[in-house]
Structure 1
Amino acid sequence: MTTTSPIPQVSQQELYRYLEDRFACAQACAECSRACAVRASLVNPGGGTPEELVRRKGVICAEVCDATSRVLSEGNQTDEETVRAQVEWCRQVCLEGARAFDGHPGAERTAEVCRTCAQACTDFLDTLAPSTP
């Protein structure tokens, strides 16, 4: 019986790093999802106010991070290009969320969690094979 790895022609060390980074990214996404959902629930909708922007960014970030965590948890069920696109989208949304939370009283921890998730996404993307145009 032949087994295949999720990344063709990689060393065992590269495979371990890939899996560790994938897990770290999924964990960061799950934590970011929870933090953003909590932060969004604490902000009262105000219709166009800065608080409403923070709430919306929190909801969007929570949803994207949750979806990314699920995609990464599926293992080999999703092709690499789909994973790459999802993780890149998550990275961008987390950075936008962090910027929205910056300077918002009480949201400093959430902004930091968003940045940590964005960095985990970047680290994971670095383990993937270069995309072809």
Structure 2
Amino acid sequence: MKASLEAVGRFDPERARERLRKSFYPDHTAFIVVDGQRIGFYTFRPADEGFQLDHLYVHPSCQSRGIGSEVIRHLLSLADASQMPVSLNALRDSASNRFYQRHGFVQTAEDEWDIYYTRTPGVSGAQAGGA
């Protein structure tokens, strides 16, 4: 995550630690394991009006191999089964914004640091205008 923040000129160690502290839910956090190696994690939890994806991190050496897409499709299938939306926020200027848009997330708000998205149940990337 540090590399993503540095790439957009926004790495602040204290802010990053505080953000993780505020959005860390051990009971809703899982490792992403490939070939017996932990290569990432996600935090996906019930929220007031659906689900919240607080983190989806894949180690840079394992990115661009479809792993994140596989994970997000799995999480979205869980939300669809419950007919609940999924919300998240992504760092402004991060490539993750395109990733989430491709998976059917639509921007709902933004602030100085983040862009906020929601994906309604059953909406695929193609239906949302994604590739």
How does the TM-score come out when normalised to structure 1? 0.28
Q: Higher Cα Rg: structure 1 or 2?
A: 1
TM-score (norm 2): 0.28
The structure with more strand, counted as a fraction of residues:
2
